[in-house]
A and B are shown apart, each in its own frame.
Chain A
Amino acid sequence: MTEASPAPGADLSSRPRRTHPLTPVAEVGDKLPGILVAVFVLGRDLPGGIVVRLGLALLVAVVGAGIGWLIWWRRSFWFDADGDLRIASGVLTRNERRVQSSRLQSVEVSRPFLARLVGLAEVKPEVAGGENAHVRIAYLSEPAAVALRAELLARSAGVRGTGSAAVEAPERVLVRVPARDLAVSTLLNENLILGALVGVATIVVAVVSGQSASLVGILLAGGIPGVGLVNGFLAYYDFSVAESPDGLRLRSGLLSTRAQTVPPGRVQAVRVAQPLLWRRSGWYRVSLNVAGSNRREGENSGVVLLPVAPYPVVRQLLSRVLPGVDIDAVDLVPAPRSARFRAPWQQPRLACGLDDEVFVSRGGRVVRRVDIVPHARTQSVRVTQGPWQRWLGLASVHVDSTPGPVKPAARQRAAVDARAVAEAQVVHAAAARLGFRPERWARSNRPATETP
């Protein structure tokens, strides 16, 4: 490593570091099955037997690892004088990125299955803004990854690096999702049941008509939702929510594990949802909008706060995420009866309301949902009205939040009230912004006890 001699007084973490030397191996290891399949399928017509193909796969892997090693060699990261994380990379074209600590929205430490076997982990800080804001520092040894997360969070909170790596804040587990609940709730899925029904119908039709059963049909009907469900189960297995001064820490995963840390005040909006088949068990799913965290591999899931939990647990967690808010105490005003002609199914459920802290909207008949957005996190407010709505004297009020699963909106309000609802929301949001919790939360919340 090029010894960039640190200025006197600079802390350890300001020196450029490389990721773990096993990084190229771990990166290639992830792709090895793909390489094998590609060589065996594409190389079908090659002369020679299995040895040639294996050799070819090995060659591809070695070349890949070589390139990977070059990339690894040229990549380093450090904390600059402003306390922002910098990442320099690129073999020929050099590229330097900066993760602005004050804009840090959440940090994830994940251990993909193969990396986990050799004790490696990657760190993904999520920063608000920019389409290409996705940053990944992979791979580090697990202790190094945890230390980097602690350091990122500490700097984001406004605590300056004090020479050595920041100590990870102690945490207290609030909720653990039992595997049984997760398994049962995963199976109680409308798509799976529908798929099974379609599959049975296909078989029945095939038997009755005397033609051989269309295997493809059955696979499509049952397989596609099935794969998603298995993935979901693996991803949310052993889900736990812990509280630490750094924020909420969400851990989960069976084969690959990940731990997301959402610092206080970074939650932009909350959705509590109950699919049709969960009603009997009284289960709910809670998801969050957290700025910058919804770009995960095309899936728009935002952050899942609880994959499945009964209402008392949901309430308990909501009181952590939205301090001082009692969701059940918010007065909800139902939508007018004329909304039946615009939303016949949802109308009895449609309602909205607000208190001093949050705006709440309710809707959904098959999947019941309640969306909550703190006034302080309101981005903009919109009133919309289509021709049919105008004819019925209705209008919708949207409270815009950062991209994510939660889209808070008071739909189908009486047109005469809609503007008042919107303006009230604007006033509440403005008031809430004045009493706004600072970006660097530790600076104001932790009194001077930490001064040396």
Chain B
Amino acid sequence: MGDAFAAPDAGWVRVSPRLALARRIVVLPLVLVVVAAVIVALALAVAPWAAALAGLVGLLVAVWAWWLIGRQVAAVGYAERGDDLLVTRGIMFRELVVVPFGRMQLVDVRAGPLDRRFGIARLQLHTAAATTDASVPGLPAAEAQRLRDHLAALGEARSAGL
């Protein structure tokens, strides 16, 4: 079983690439505003070449953020097995969660305004443990709802109390 984060037999189901777009829309303007402020400040206080350098660094940061978000979203995946749901995420800090259906206390679907605009939603599984960090962001809205109802039914059927 070599890799600790190997995909199960059925493989990972990846989430919608629209999640990457939604996250980029949130992050990039922030980066740009900060970079612009730094450029202006340096141009006025230091010298034009410092501002140009800052602009270059800012551009690199923006490109890196663009690329990183894409990779992060591509690293999110889930898989349904006979008795449990697997969720994985992260590149630097990798995580894999196994949530048995019999332990699910409730299943949430949440979608912010931007998520709704892009037709995606976040599915969140809750167990009696607060440390269970099983959420799947960026599911297509219809899929999120289908999965919620499906998982809730499975959870009901296998519920084993606490």
Contacts and interface: CB of A to CB of B under 8 A. Distances in A.
B162 A377 contact: yes
A401 interface: yes
Say what secondary structure dominates the interface of chain A.
mixed
Contacts of A382: 95-98, 131-133
Given A268-B162, A291-B162, A383-B4, A400 B100 contact: no
B70 interface: no
B94 A385 contact: yes
Contacts of B127: 379-380, 400
A416 B96 contact: no
Given A268-B162, A416-B2, A379 B98 contact: no
Given A380-B103, A384-B93, A436 B160 contact: yes
Given A386-B92, A403-B130, A380 B6 contact: no
A415 interface: yes
Given A380-B132, A416-B1, A402 B94 contact: no
Interface string B66-84: 0000000000000000011
Contact of A400 (B93, B102, B131): B131
Given A385-B93, A422-B96, A380 B1 contact: no
B80 to A, nearest CB: 14
A422 B5 CA distance: 11
B161 A439 contact: yes
Listed residue (B5, B98, B103, B105) with the most chain A CB atoms within 10 angstroms of its CB: B98
Contact of A401 (B97, B105, B129): B129
A279 interface: no
B93 A387 contact: yes
Interface of A: 103, 105, 128-129, 266, 268, 291, 376-387, 390, 395, 398, 400-403, 407, 415-416, 418-420, 422-423, 426, 429-430, 433, 436, 439
Given A400-B131, A429-B100, 15 more contacts: A105-B162, A128-B162, A266-B162, A268-B128, A291-B162, A380-B98, A380-B100, A380-B132, A385-B95, A400-B127, A400-B132, A403-B131, A416-B1, A426-B83, A439-B161
19 contacts: A291-B128, A379-B128, A379-B132, A380-B98, A380-B100, A380-B132, A381-B97, A382-B96, A382-B133, A383-B4, A383-B5, A401-B129, A407-B131, A416-B3, A416-B4, A419-B5, A419-B6, A426-B84, A433-B160
